Amino acid sequence: MPSRLYVLSASTRPTSYGRPLARWIAERAAARPEFEVTTVDLGEVALPFLDEPEYPSTGRYAHPHTRAWSETISPADAFVFVLPMYNGGFTAPLKNAIDSLYAEWRDKPVGLVSYSAGPSGGAPAIEMIRPVLNRVGLRPAEPTLSVPGIEGLVEGGSFRAAPEFTAGTDAVLDAVAELALAGAAVRAGA
């Protein structure tokens, strides 16, 4: 049975270059038998900043938008976060999306693909998000992929992948698939 992989586009900017990259990653993942793919765009989700009266770890959500976010994320077996780097870190909306839930993330693998206009490809954002992911119980996959010069790689709303990005994406997807399979085996034997 394929794992339910959610490819999450973490930018909320209306002109984000990350959306074409996320769509391209979702298409590559959907072509694989290991995955049933859903895309999630934080710009479309439009989750307000955490406004719940109780801690997310309780799972008691007072607001319809948090319950809807929980219902969106809960069915996933694994994730790929496609995240931009802003000023050396990951975005506040992504941190908010993670912080708004708790059990929905636990023990699920996550692949990380960063991007930026500059030469780092957003690699510092990946390093910055790791402790947050570990704290909520997500299991970051190795390797990761960082895509530099994103503006030059999107044309007509489509991501133009160089061979190294194709190979890097496949490596991330391989690692996520392996972690998801291992997690499913542990849950089945538990």
Residue-level pLDDT at 19: 97
145: CATH: 3.40.50.360
Mean local confidence (pLDDT), 147-161: 95
Q: Which amino acid is at 77?
A: D
Residue-level pLDDT at 185: 66
Provide the domain count of the chain.
Answer: 1
Residue-level pLDDT at 75: 97
Residues 85 and 124 sit within 8 Å (Cβ to Cβ)? yes
Q: Enumerate helices (H) and strands (E) in the chain, giving the number of each.
A: 6, 8
Query: Which residues span the domain enclosing 184?
Result: 3-189
- Write b or e for each residue in 95-113: b if 16 or more Cβ atoms lie within 10 A of its Cβ, otherwise e: bbbbebbbebbeebbbbbb
Place of tokens 């109780």: 54
What DSSP line would sit under 13-75, residue for residue? -TT-SHHHHHHHHHHHHHTSTTEEEEEEEHHHH-PPS---SS-GGG----SHHHHHHHHHHTT
Burial of 87 (0-12, 13-18, 19+ CB in 10 A): exposed
Task: Report the DSSP beta bridge partners of residue 83.
Answer: 114
Phi, psi of 131, deg, nearest 5: -60, -35
Mean local confidence (pLDDT), 32-58: 96
Give the pLDDT confidence of 53-79 residue by residue, as tens digits: 999 999 999 999 999 999 999 999 999
Helices (H), 52-150: 64-73, 92-99, 123-135
Q: Which of 94, 110, 108 lies closest to 144 in space, CA to CA?
A: 110
Give the pLDDT confidence of 180-189 residue by residue, as tens digits: 998 766 666 6
Residues 2 and 35 sit within 8 Å (Cβ to Cβ)? yes
Instruction: Indicate the SS3 state at residue 122.
Output: coil
Residue-level pLDDT at 182: 87
* Two structure tokens written together for 64: 């319809």
Give the pLDDT confidence of 108-132 residue by residue, as tens digits: 999 999 999 999 999 999 999 999 9
